[in-house]
Structure 1
Amino acid sequence: MGWDLADAFVIELDVGAEHIDELGHANNAVYVSWLENCAWQHSRSLGLGLEDYRRLNRAMAVLRHEIDYLAAAYEGDHLCLATWIVESDQRLKMKRHFQLVRPADGVTLLRAQTTFVCIEMSTGKPKRMPAEFIEGYGRALIEPYPLGL
């Protein structure tokens, strides 16, 4: 597929009419929802779903998105979105990289980085990651090489 990094967690997406904006391509806001969906699916695959967040009174909340929109997606396109956990201080912050590819022509449509901060759900304030987060997300942590973002 030509992923930027090894050991990608990948979801598949189909661009529907509901994703298309007035310019005739997938709306930029839709890409953000796809990033969120991919991150949640990856978290659940690591054993950290919303029920675990609630039980632990902790969540990984978005602190910052950096998105490079490289090419447009169109209605009917089949896409693959990959994510990797590339950094974690094992205290408060964690960073994911994303890459969105259209397999039909191999074009990378998007590269993104999202920085998350661990919060206490009941207060919304930053709190240290519980051991379950350190262990679960730590299993997926990789060492990135420069992406040119």
Structure 2
Amino acid sequence: MTGMNEPAEGWDYPSPFIVNLTVKPEHIDDFQHTNNVVYLSFMAKTAWDHSKALGLDFDAYRKLGKGMVVRRHEMDYFAPSFEGEALRMGTWITGNDGRLRLRRRFQLINEKGATLLRGLSDFVCINIESGRAVRMPPEFVSTYALTADEPADRPAPK
């Protein structure tokens, strides 16, 4: 289940877009906790689910001939998760320069409200056909509007 406008309690910023997740047996590594790569897939799923909820699925990308692709990920791990555990991944759009770049922040919490991970992903707009970076279409600028204010993610003054 996904949604917006959840209570701010425990979240780094108000009104996250949330994806509820469950740690499955195939997510467990030799240390008997969730493998770090799985957290990255949780971030990707959450970002894509949010984009689709905003109305920008791959069909919309294809029609525009443009898409947002990852340039960089950053993740800080605070505690492990285990098989069967229910988790919630929240995301916010905290940066959009209106030209090429977009930033999302993520927070993963468990049922007790403990933060297990904080992360961010930087995206760049590309022309789908050529794969080259291009200016965002107006639809991306407006639809990927900021959902949280993070001073560190504000564009540098011109």
What TM-score do the two structures reach when normalised by structure 2?
0.88
Work out the number of aligned pairs and report it: 144
1:126 to 133, 154, 158: 133
Partner of 1:76: 84
**1:127 partner amino acid:** V
Instruction: Please give the per-residue CA displacement for 1:77-119, whole angstroms capped at 9, x wherever unaligned.
Output: 000000000011010001000000002x221000001110001
**Which structure would you say has the larger RCO, counting Cα contacts within 8 Å and 6 or more residues apart?**
1
Question: In the alignment, is residue 141 of structure 1 matched against residue 144 of structure 2?
Answer: no
Report whether the alignment pairs 1:93 with 2:101: yes
Cα displacement (A) at 1:145: 5.6
TM-superposed deviation, 1:141: 3.4
Say whether residues 1:12 and 2:20 are aligned partners. yes
The answer on whether the counterparts of 1:61 and 1:116 sit within 8 Å (CA) in structure 2 is: yes
1:59 matched residue in structure 2: 67
2:58 corresponds to 1:43: no
Structure 1: segments with no counterpart, 5+ residues: none
Runs of 4+ in 1 over 4 A off after TM superposition: none
Q: TM-score, normalised by structure 1?
A: 0.93
Question: CA separation in 2, counterparts of 1:2 and 1:106?
Answer: 6
SS of corresponding position for 2:144: helix
% identical aligned pairs: 44
User: Structure 2 regions of 5+ residues with no counterpart?
Assistant: 1-8, 153-158
1:25 aligns with 2:36: no
Distance, in Å, in 2 between the alignment partners of 1:71 and 1:55 is: 41
Asked if the contact 1:101–1:109 (Cα under 8 Å) also holds between the matched residues in 2, the reply is: yes
